Amino acid sequence: MQGHESAVASADVRRFVHTAAEPGLQCMAWLPAHETFVDARLRIGQDQLELQTLGTGTPPVKICLGYLRSACVASKAQIPYPSGLSINWLDFAVFLEFFDLTEAMELRTECVLLSGDVEAALLCRSLGQLQRFGVPPLEKDLELPTWVAARARAAVATLTSPDILMALKRWRAGSALVAPSPPLPSRVRTSSEAGASCTGLSLSAFWKDATAGVWEVLNSPALLGIKPDPSLAAGWDAPLPLNGGDRLDGEAELSARWKKVLGDRSLAELTRSELRALFILGHRIPWQYRLALWPTWLHVADEGNEPLDDGMLCTDETCQKQIEKDVPRTRPTDLNQNQREALGRVLRAFALLRPQVGYCQGLNFVAAVELLVGFTEKQALGGLCGLTDAFCSGYYEESMSGLLRDIAVLDALLLHLLPKIHARFAEVDLPLIWIATEPLLTLFSRELKPIESICRLWDFFLIEGVCAPFAVFLAYAELAFERNLLTGAAAEDSLGAFRLLLGDSSAIAGNILQRAAFFLAPRPFGSGLNETLLQSLRKEAAGASQLADAG
């Protein structure tokens, strides 16, 4: 949600990043202790910069890209330039501001002098592009590996069958499902079949067992054996403070560290890299800052406190009935009566505002989180539009084509980034549509009970952007594999275990977000998950879907 720059790197930026990666850039670095510039080499590594002075015997300065605050040509910077830097060379020098990887999170500055003003400007542009999207390979035909693109196209074929489309249509309308065809016998796949798509295996057996709406089937605690954990009722998983104390002390300590970095600036002045660095301090945004940042990012900060009036509400009878059915079962232990009434009005207003969508199950859980964190009705409505536009494009429409597209993308990403886990999903006949539908439709808010855990996930989503939900799903898949949760002989066993993991708040308090951040770490050669890769896979999946429709 931090801007909408182009995800496509220009050719000069690509060439520059590849040159800066190996052999590196010849430059000069300022040594404040000696008040002089010395020869140095600047390299762009996988997720960090490395500035090595030559002939000084000192270790290189390593700057994590996630902690880089700014890269600015000296002539445009608001930082006093070194005494040894002539005014004639200001366009050749670049200031690198970054946070030191220490508890104090001190802001440091390195000054490097490059061979020309063009090179200095390219360094600043390239670092901005690398932080935001990663940089794809230099060779254009290798931007998306052909076998990954082929997987995305093949996955679409399994998701656009008449059986699945009819089942989704009935589910969207809140009706029961009827088995479209006799079930196939379930079995464990052999290793030779592991390369098969894991998006739509053995679906007929799933549809046959569905005697209620898909929502009930996917979310029934009785079906999966899920029991609420009473210890999580308070919904608090804030980190403990560094020097002992309780959770409230931890919240206060984290807020104080944010305040130190913020200084006299407003929250809107924080850069993406600063937000990343601050987020890493506790893998969450403190409540006092979250309540200011979320409305700003979702463009609803100026919305009033007045409730939505009747003229803004959908009057379609079918839509109203479905909303009235879903509201009471949406976080029933968290929402009070006033909030439930507000939720109903928000969903009806959304249905009127987005007639091409109307109402679809899943929207209720997204809107409920907004109301629980303190949004007004108008803010919740605007936030619901903003979140679904940013992260759930095409998910809730009649065809649900966006959801099917992104499940196919997940299939390709698993094969590309976690091939062993992709093979395991295929071996146990566990279709991604079973486990990915609900997290994508609800932005992971259905299974998790503590509202703070959901907020931590959404903090991550709003800071990192559209790739973040995919990275979080990959992180959950990796964690499930490491915990041997995908070893069941039947798909239903692995499904139940995976869904229990989705509802485990200790995974959020643990390292799920660190794992997800690893998938998003910039890779100069395009191997990480970034918007360039995501857009390419979506294009492949959408193209395959259009061909299937035309056929």
Indicate if 118 and 159 belong to the same structural domain: no
pLDDT in tens, the chain (551 residues): 554 444 455 777 877 888 888 788 999 999 988 888 999 999 987 667 899 999 888 899 988 776 777 889 999 887 888 888 888 889 999 999 887 766 566 788 999 999 889 999 999 888 877 766 655 554 444 456 676 778 788 887 777 777 777 767 766 665 533 333 333 333 333 333 444 445 543 333 333 333 233 333 333 333 333 333 333 322 334 444 444 455 567 688 888 888 888 888 888 888 777 787 788 777 889 998 999 999 999 999 999 888 898 888 888 888 899 999 999 999 999 999 999 999 999 999 999 999 989 999 899 999 999 999 999 999 999 999 999 999 999 999 888 899 999 999 999 999 888 888 888 888 888 888 888 989 999 999 998 888 999 999 999 999 989 999 999 999 999 999 998 888 877 778 888 888 889 998 888 877 899 889 888 876 554 457 888 889 989 999 888 876 666 55
Indicate if 201 and 58 belong to the same structural domain: no
Domain end marker among 112, 135, 158:
135
- The answer to whether the beta carbons of residues 128 and 516 sit under 8 Å apart is no
Output the domain CATH number for residue 103.
Answer: 2.30.29.30
Indicate if 111 and 217 belong to the same structural domain: no
Answer yes or no: is 113 within a domain: yes
DSSP type of residue 58 = P
Indicate if 414 and 507 belong to the same structural domain: yes
Q: What is the domain count for the chain?
A: 2
Indicate if 88 and 206 belong to the same structural domain: no
Q: Whole domain around residue 72: which residue ranges?
A: 11-135
d(CA 300, CA 136): 34
Q: Is residue 134 left, alpha or beta, with left meaning phi > 0 and alpha meaning psi from -120 to 50? A: left
Answer yes or no: is 5 within a domain: no
What's the pLDDT score for residue 186?
33
Indicate if 469 and 408 belong to the same structural domain: yes
Indicate if 403 and 532 belong to the same structural domain: yes
Answer yes or no: is 99 within a domain: yes
What's the pLDDT score for residue 9?
58
d(CA 494, CA 62): 42
Domain end marker among 114, 135, 156:
135
Indicate if 151 and 77 belong to the same structural domain: no
Indicate if 537 and 438 belong to the same structural domain: yes
Answer yes or no: is 286 within a domain: no
Indicate if 96 and 218 belong to the same structural domain: no
Indicate if 77 and 158 belong to the same structural domain: no
Answer yes or no: is 456 within a domain: yes
- The answer to whether the beta carbons of residues 473 and 409 sit under 8 Å apart is no
Residue-wise burial string across 250-273, b where 16 or more C-beta atoms lie within 10 A, e elsewhere: bbebbbebbeebeeeeeeeebebb
What's the pLDDT score for residue 269?
82
d(CA 380, CA 382): 6
Indicate if 38 and 72 belong to the same structural domain: yes
